[in-house]
Structure 1
Amino acid sequence: MSISLTRKHFLGLAGATIGAAAMAACAGPSTDGAGTALKTLSPDEWSKIKPASSISFMSSHPGKSRDTEMKLIEAFQSANPGITVNLITGGSNYEEVAQKFQTAQAGSEVPDVVVASDVWWFRYAVSGAILPIDDLLKAVGVSTSDYNPGLIGDYKHANQQWAVPYARSTPLFYFNKDHFKAAGVPERAPATWEEFAEWAPGIKAANSSGSGYQNAYQYPAIAGYAGWTLQNVLWGQGGSWSKEWEITADSEASTAAMQWVQDSIVKHGWAGVSSKNAITDLQAGAVSATISSSADLAATLKAAKEANMRIGVGFLPGGSVASTQVCPTGGSGLVVASKTSPERQLAAAKFVTFVTNAQSTTALSAATGYLPVAAAADISSIVAQTPEFQTVVDQLKVTRTQDFARTFLPGGDQELAKAATKIMNEKADVKSALTELRGTLEGIYNKDVKPKLKA
């Protein structure tokens, strides 16, 4: 596929819709609606609306944040005594929330505020399930400039703002300092995966006598967003899932990168794939290093302290082609449902902007490890208590926009996971698996996306 359109070109398109049948064919629930041609109120009209007295907030409590979310709700209700917020557990992950949000579309009651991941907000926007919030933000006295520009900009489509950043993260390299010390390697994150490949055999040999010890490195479980974390290895070796709309999953560089991944497991034997949760494997001392979300930082450091274990964190390693700009951002934003009343939407906007303001985002960051999304957030107290958090903030400065194949192709993330399973767990021929993946992704693009693009 030779067509290559810019992100600006695509996100500037209006009226694109992806129907329920198309989404269902690509795996995952659909959020079919009336399209993006939604009637919204003007700033003057919003000024005449009285906020509803009760709204609902559907969340998966990312980063085990339910207690923190309850505290944020209590703070919001104290500051806005006329509005009550009902917290709804939509599931244990973003996909389960998406399924429940989809199911709600068929009824008369939908949650007013929903946690939407990096691969779901766009589907909601193009299907009309959520409301563009530019004028809503103005109505409650908030500007997009109040947010970190590298995060708020991720939610632009059709020249409108569709979400605000909430539980945003980057992957981090987590490692057991004691295991590294036992192997005589530096107690730091490797600069490149090639450097770690030199260390790995010695790390495994030095620690394999430990009870239950498995590997020097553990890849995250395939179900844990393999398409997200594997971008790091691909980018470091000059590969990618896609370059804008051109699918590059089976390019020479991408094939070499994924062959390296398979070899680390099958041929060299110093790496494995977690069956459930790689960060839990690390906390148990079963592995020496892994990649996981920054949202796991607080819980991991707490578990390590209780186990008298020294855990370190660092930037994601680079590769033979690129040593920087190899880390993707991820996580979720907050969206406002379109199928509710203006009164509830205005109350929702008040809530959304409150739980993402400087004070609230600092509280969420301190409790989890998520990035502070407000531009005015003061993280000095967090860093003073948890110095490792500075790594999260510093790495944000050298992140890279995710590949379109993962974030903008309906069901693309699931297809990446299927290919990763074949390569990493089933020992499939790498080139064949990636060529099949390319064909599948191109099919999704040609059927469900390209027809919506304007010349």
Structure 2
Amino acid sequence: MAINLHRRHFLGLAGASAGAAALAACGGPSTAGTPAATGAAEIDFSGVKPAASFDFWTNHPGKSQDVEQSVIDKFHAKFPDIKVNLVTAGANYEEIAQKFQTSQAAKSALPGLVVLSDVWWFRYFTNGNIIPLDGLVKRLDIKVDDFQKSLVADYQYAGKQWALPYGRSTPLFYYNKDHFKAAGLPDRAPKTWQEFGDWAPKLKASSGAQYAYIYPALAGYAGWTLQNNLWGWGGSWSDGWTVTCDSTESVAALQWAQDSIYKDKWAGVSSKEAADDFAAGITSTTISSTGSLLGVLKSAKFNVGVGYLPGGPKAESGVCPTGGAGLGIPSGVSKEVQLAAATFLKFMTEPENTAAFSAATGYMPTRLSADMGAVLAKTPQIKTAMDQLAVTRVQDNARVFLPGADQEMAKAAAAILTQQGDVKATMAGLKTTLEGIYTKDVKPKLTS
């Protein structure tokens, strides 16, 4: 199954993959819907005045409710004729997706602005549930060129802009500096997993921690973070639309991960939140989102170090995926509400507010011109995450565009990492499942 279509040239998928959080909670909304048209009509906002109020649906990524409300208060001071109602629409991205899909189906009250995660927003695009922002970008003079290129490009399809980046993150390698010092290790993240494999026994022996490394919780994170391991070994979940999870390289990457737990016995798997396990001293190292950084720094009773994700035997660079969420505007609300929401969207993503959001959460500053001086002076670790953006890689199609694929990846990872299942057989089974999803739910919807 090798169909060579560029990501930006396909349309009409029945849905994207399941959300990056709380995967075990439910199967997610239906993937059925009306595909978006390739040439989505430009919306004419001439003569339209902003609505007096609208709802902003968010899950407060990175525990950002206070900073979101602060930005809204500043917006009200500047635009007193537009009231933004901050609505907690879920505890995570999946719950927001559930609520948004339910509201679409029931034709009930919709938000003017909604948080859309990296693996959910494309569903809304294909179903025609969100509008292209290009006309509003032009009318309101939103400086799209000032956004981090790799982040804003994630929402560009069919030559249009469908959302703007908001709570965006990359995984970081977190390490306990005190444990590293006690083990006689360099004060840095390992360059490769092989190098860490040499370090791990020393850490385990000297730190007193239960693990030298703990893999992130599989439900919600396996499909995202394991891309790092796969890419480092020269593997992947998929190459374009060709499923490659059972390749020799992919199997080798996951076999190494399994061996770190069962054979070498220095690694474990987090049951809930790896960042919390790390901050509690249960493990000397882990991988977790940049959005966890400030919480870790606040709760850890030791010196925290962060670094780029390690590479592998085939690649030491370009092994870090991006993730997180953007902000989109629903199609099912009036032009007046859409214009009011866009006015706030512009304000919310201005450089000053981007810097404030980053300072409060640890998420990436999405604007190039954001003044991060004060933030970096207080939390210099954020610069590591910012610098790593230059060597990030677009996520595999299978992870973000196949409906339900993320859940299947989590199941396969659990079989390998928590049940010591046969890696090759498990990956072969996953390939069959993913190809079935592609053939049934995606291939018929691709444009020629």
TM-score by length of 2: 0.94
Pick from 431, 437, 440: which aligns with 1:444? 437
**Match of 2:387?**
394
In structure 2, relative to structure 1, the CA distance for the partners of 1:143 and 1:36 (3 Å cut) is farther
Equivalent residue number for residue 342 of structure 1:
335
Q: Which amino acid aligns with 1:245?
A: W
* Superposition map of 1:404-419 within 5 A: 404-419=397-412
Matched, 1:215 2:208: no
Equivalent of 2:357 in 329, 353, 364:
364
Partners of 2:383 and 2:348 lie apart in 1 by 22
**Deviation at 1:33?**
4.7
* Alignment match, 2:222: 226
- Residue 30 of structure 1 and its aligned partner are, at CA, apart by 3.1
Q: In the alignment, residue 202 of structure 1 is paired with which amino acid?
A: K
Unaligned runs of 5+ in 1: none
After superposition, residues 118-157 of structure 1 pair within 5 angstroms as: 118-157=118-157
Name the amino acid aligned to 1:35: P
1:282 is the counterpart of 2:275: no
Question: How far apart are 1:283 and its partner, in Å?
Answer: 0.7
What CA distance in whole angstroms lies between the structure 2 residues aligned with 1:36 and 1:81? 35
AA matched with 1:185? L
| Distance (whole Å) between structure 2 residues aligned to residue 289 and residue 19 of structure 1 | 35
Counterpart of 2:424 in structure 1 is: 431
Which segment drifts farther, 371-380 or 29-38? Answer: 29-38
> How far 1:436 moved relative to its partner?
0.7
- 2:299 equivalent to 1:303: yes
* Distance in 2 separating the partners of 1:227 and 1:33: 25
2 CA distance for matches of 1:141 and 1:395? 29
Q: Contact between 2:8 and 2:158, CA under 8 Å: does it hold in 1?
A: no
1:23-422 equivalences under 5 Å are: 27-30=27-30, 32-37=32-37, 40=41, 42=43, 45-105=44-104, 106-208=106-208, 213-304=209-300, 307=301, 309-422=302-415
Are the equivalent residues in 1 in contact too, given 2:174–2:288 (CA < 8 A)?
yes
Q: Could you list the per-position Cα deviations for residues 400-424 of structure 1 after superposition, in whole angstroms to 9, with x for gaps in the alignment?
A: 1110000111111111111111111
Query: Cα deviations across residues 186-231 of structure 1 (Å, max 9, x unaligned)?
Result: 12110110000101011011123xxxx3100011111232110000
* Contact 1:174/1:290 (8 A) holds in 2: yes
Which letter does structure 2 place at the counterpart of 1:64?
K
Aligned with 2:310: secondary structure?
coil
Amino-acid identity (%): 56
CA distance change for structure 1 residues 395 and 225 in 2, over 3 Å: closer, same or farther? Answer: same
Q: Deviations over 1:15-70 (max 9, x none)?
A: x15179x99xx94213655432497554xx31310101111111111111111111
Q: Secondary structure at the match of 2:54?
A: strand
TM-superposed deviation, 1:391: 0.3
2:3 and 2:240 in contact (8 A); partners too: no
Partner Cα separation in structure 2 for residue 39 and residue 387 of structure 1: 43
SS of the aligned residue for 1:137 comes to helix
Residue 366 of structure 1 aligns with an amino acid whose one-letter code is: A
SS in structure 1 at match of 2:86: strand
CA distance in 2, matches of 1:432, 1:347: 53
Residue 245 to residue 34, structure 1, CA distance change in 2 (3 Å): closer
- Give the C-alpha shift of residue 107 in structure 1: 2.8
SS of the residue corresponding to residue 223 of structure 1 reads: helix
Q: Quick one: distance in 2 between partners of 1:110 and 1:451?
A: 30
C-alpha contact 1:131 1:337 (8 A) present in aligned 2: yes
Provide Cα deviations, 1:140-161, integer angstroms capped at 9, x if missing partner: 2214213221111110122211
Instruction: Name structure 2 gaps, 5 residues minimum.
Output: 20-25
Deviation at 1:375, TM superposition (A): 2.6
C-alpha displacement of 1:454: 2.3
* Equivalent residues, number: 439
AA partner of residue 277 (structure 1): E
Report the 3-state secondary structure (helix = DSSP H, G, I; strand = E; otherwise coil) of the residue aligned with 1:88. Answer: strand
Higher deviation after alignment, 106-115 or 436-445: 106-115
Residues 31, 129 of structure 1: 8 Å contact kept: no
Letter matched to residue 432 of structure 2: G
- Distance in 2 (CA, whole Å) between partners of 1:204 and 1:190 is 16
Q: Distance in 1 between matches of 2:40 and 2:240?
A: 31
Kept after mapping to 1: 8 A contact 2:15/2:126: no
State the SS of the aligned residue for 2:190.
Answer: coil
Q: Is the 8 A contact 1:32 1:128 kept in 2?
A: no
Distance 1:33 1:443, change over 3 A: closer
List per-residue Cα deviations over 1:122-167 (Å, max 9, x = no partner): 1110011111111122222214213221111110122211100000
Q: Distance in 2 between matches of 1:34 and 1:453?
A: 13
| SS of the residue 1:5 aligns to | coil
Q: Distance in 2 between matches of 1:289 and 1:295?
A: 16
Kindly tell me: are residues 200 and 412 of structure 1, through their superposed partners in 2, closer, same or farther at Cα, counting changes over 3 Å?
same
Deviations 1:327-374 (A, max 9, x none): 011110001111111100111111112111101110011111111112
Q: In structure 1, what is the Cα distance between the partners aligned to 2:243 and 2:391?
A: 24
Post-superposition offset of 1:6: 2.2
SS of 1:49's partner is coil
Distance 1:39 1:205, change over 3 A: closer
Aligned CA-pair RMSD: 1.9
* Separation in 1, partners of 2:319, 2:191: 11
Q: State the shift of 1:171 in Å.
A: 0.3
CA deviation map 1:92-117 (0-9, x unaligned): 21111101111111133112211111
